[in-house]
Amino acid sequence: MTNEPHVVWHEHSVSRKEREELNGHRGCVIWFTGLSGCGKSTVANLVDHKLHSLGVHSMVLDGDNVRHGLNAGPGMLKERHGEDFAKRFGLGFSAEDREENIRRIGAVAELFASAGIITLTAFISPYRADRDGARALQDEGDFIEVLVDAPLEVCEKRDPKGLYKKARAGEIKGFTGIDDPYEAPENPELVLDSAGKDAETLADEVIDYLRGKGKIK
């Protein structure tokens, strides 16, 4: 598990199975992926709300929110912890930092899922290998990769945060879909047609999928 000899795994006294029995449902990870503006946050939050109403324990890990805390960028860290600290630990959007961003999220999602929670993650997560790394932490069937599918033109037209506009103007470098690649999943568990259907319908498709797989009643 580790190459650090002083770091030894401590078994939890309450198992994942016991936590799931108490909750009345299994934990799992629902991993939304797709271009900026494709609807990941919107759909994940709708699903979260529906699950909560059904009495299911769920939690959303959202890209923008996580980058305010756990995976804060150098700009945010500098103010509080100084320049050196910010340089060492702040995460930006280079391929390397995106990899580390997703590695941490995968690890946090694993913690939530093992607490018996249906964990919804809403990150662009553009690289296939990084998503596969998060998948590898889950048992078969417990990682549900959801491609929120909308063509770049549609996402760029929505542009609720004005990010595409900035990327096109060269004010943001390495923007996914513009000057950084998006590697679509090859075998996602679910594809949501975000250009053709409204977010409510897509959230219902996720709920139906979970019911079909016996994850919820």
Ligand X SMILES: Nc1ncnc2c1ncn2[C@@H]1O[C@H](COP(=O)(O)OP(=O)(O)O)[C@@H](O)[C@H]1O
Binding of ligand X by 160 (CB under 6 A): yes
CB 109 within 8 A of CB 121: yes
Binding of ligand X by 202 (CB under 6 A): yes
| Among Mg ion, ligand X, none, partner that 75 touches (CB below 5 to 8 angstroms by kind) | none
Own/partner long-range contacts of 160-166 (Cβ < 8 Å, ≥24 apart): 160/37, 161/36, 161/37, 163/36, 163/37, 164/36, 164/37
Catalytic residues: 125
The single residue among 25, 40, 50, 215 that binds ligand X, judged by CB under 6 A, is 40
Kindly give, in sequence order, each residue whose CB lies less than 8 Å from that of residue 124, ignoring residues fewer than 6 positions away. Answer: 33, 34, 35, 36, 40, 63, 176, 182
Given the complex with ligand X, which of 37 and 106 has the nearer CB atom? 37
Amino acid at 142: D
| Residue pointed to by tokens 């990010």 | 163
Binding mask 119-158 for ligand X (x = CB under 6 A): ---x-----------------------------------x
| Among ligand X, Mg ion, none, partner that 116 touches (CB below 5 to 8 angstroms by kind) | none
Residue 31's DSSP bridge partners are: 121, 145
Nearest distance from C-beta of residue 161 to ligand X, angstroms? 8
Q: What residues make contact with ligand X under the rule CB under 6 A?
A: 34, 36-42, 122, 158, 160, 194, 197-199, 202
